């Protein structure tokens, strides 16, 4: 099972859009996928048509120890499940400040639920911060996808993300790797987008081969600006349900195919190594 944390401490870069549509696209290919919404704003939940209100089970209750992971998980489409969020998650930072092993609460909940037997992918939509919820996601994940807007300041923030993954790899989760960078809100007609992409590729090529991001793939698929992607959440649908013939659906379909191709390459390498 692949557990992917989709993270960026900057908001508005396509993190939730990527989490939801990547998961929905994988589900369409027959993969069993669960979206874990770790953002108190609950945008992934709303995007998938689920609005958690008082009395509804959410991932907050897993952190509070009141529910198990299967208790709060619901099926939202064929092959697609959701562990929704709600505003109560915002209190988690304070409530867990003195809790022993607070970085591993989510990992332990997933292990207890034996999620590897139930899902092929877990896609975790992290909040736009580097607090305890994101650290829990990184402790449980084996991969990180970073949605990135191709602007100069986005590259500046990327170094902080890399530092965080390196710290988590050293102290909490030695298997964690940055495996993919998704360029979102891409303006195909601008020179800046191309220059930032070139700078990013050069940085990765020159990175320490032992760094957690050393083998990160900058996906060939660029997620172009597309109004349909912006409209889909208000209808509670992924882009594949809302506008299947749009440029946004085409881009995310291509991204999904790249992700699956990488999975198949890894399986082939394992067979050859055996």
Looking at residue 224, the DSSP 8-state letter turns out to be B
Taking the C-alpha atoms of residue 145 and residue 159, their distance in angstroms, rounded to an integer, is 14
The span from the CA of 246 to the CA of 236, in Å, is 17
Calculate the average pLDDT of the chain. Answer: 91
Q: What is the domain range of residue 69?
A: 2-273
Q: Work out the pLDDT band at 269, boundaries 50, 70, 90.
A: low
| 238 has a pLDDT exceeding 80 | yes
Rg (CA), the chain: 18
d(CA 108, CA 57): 19
How many residues are listed for the chain in this entry? 274
Q: How does pLDDT run across 104-130, given as a tens digit for each residue?
A: 999 999 999 999 999 999 999 999 888
- The 10s digit of each residue's pLDDT in 17-66 is 999 999 999 999 999 999 999 999 999 999 999 988 776 799 999 999 99
The pLDDT confidence band at residue 273, using thresholds 50, 70 and 90, is low
pLDDT tens for 174-225 read 999 999 999 998 887 778 778 888 888 888 888 888 888 888 899 999 999 9
CATH code of the domain covering residue 253:
3.40.50.300
Distance CA 78, CA 66 (A): 28
The answer to whether the CB of 88 falls within 8 A of the CB of 101 is no
Give the predicted TM-score (pTM) of the model.
0.93
Report the domain count for the chain. Answer: 1
What letters, b where the CB count within 10 A reaches 16 and e where it falls short, cover 127-160? bbebebbbbbbbbbbebbbbbbbbbeebeebbee
How far is the C-alpha of 92 from the C-alpha of 174, rounded, in Å?
Answer: 25
What mean pLDDT is predicted for residues 155-179?
Answer: 89
């Amino acid at each position: 099972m692949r557990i992917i944390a989709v993270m960026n401490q900057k908001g508005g870069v396509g993190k939730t859009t990527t989490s939801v549509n990547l998961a929905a696209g994988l589900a369409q290919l027959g993969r069993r996928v669960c979206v874990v919404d770790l953002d108190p704003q609950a945008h992934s939940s709303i995007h998938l048509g689920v609005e958690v209100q008082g009395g509804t089970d959410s991932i907050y209750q897993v952190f509070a120890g009141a529910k198990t992971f299967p208790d709060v998980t619901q099926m939202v489409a064929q092959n697609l499940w959701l562990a929704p969020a709600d505003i109560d998650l915002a209190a988690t930072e304070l409530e867990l400040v003195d809790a022993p092993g607070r970085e591993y609460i989510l990992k332990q909940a997933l292990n207890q639920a034996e999620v590897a037997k139930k899902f092929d992918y877990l896609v975790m939509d992290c909040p736009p911060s580097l607090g305890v919820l994101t650290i829990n996601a990184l402790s449980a994940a084996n991969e990180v996808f970073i949605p990135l807007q191709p602007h100069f300041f986005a590259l500046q923030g990327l170094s902080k993300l890399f530092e965080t993954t390196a710290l988590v790899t050293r102290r909490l989760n030695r298997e964690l790797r940055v495996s993919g960078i998704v360029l979102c809100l891409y303006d195909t007609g601008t020179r800046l987008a191309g220059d930032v992409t070139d700078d990013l590729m050069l940085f990765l090529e020159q990175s320490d081969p032992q760094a957690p991001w050393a083998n990160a793939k900058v996906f060939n698929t660029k997620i172009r600006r597309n109004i349909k992607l912006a409209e889909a959440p208000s209808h509670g649908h992924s882009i594949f349900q809302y506008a299947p013939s749009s440029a946004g659906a085409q881009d995310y379909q291509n991204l999904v195919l790249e992700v699956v191709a990488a999975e198949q390459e890894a399986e082939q390498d394992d067979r050859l190594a055996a």
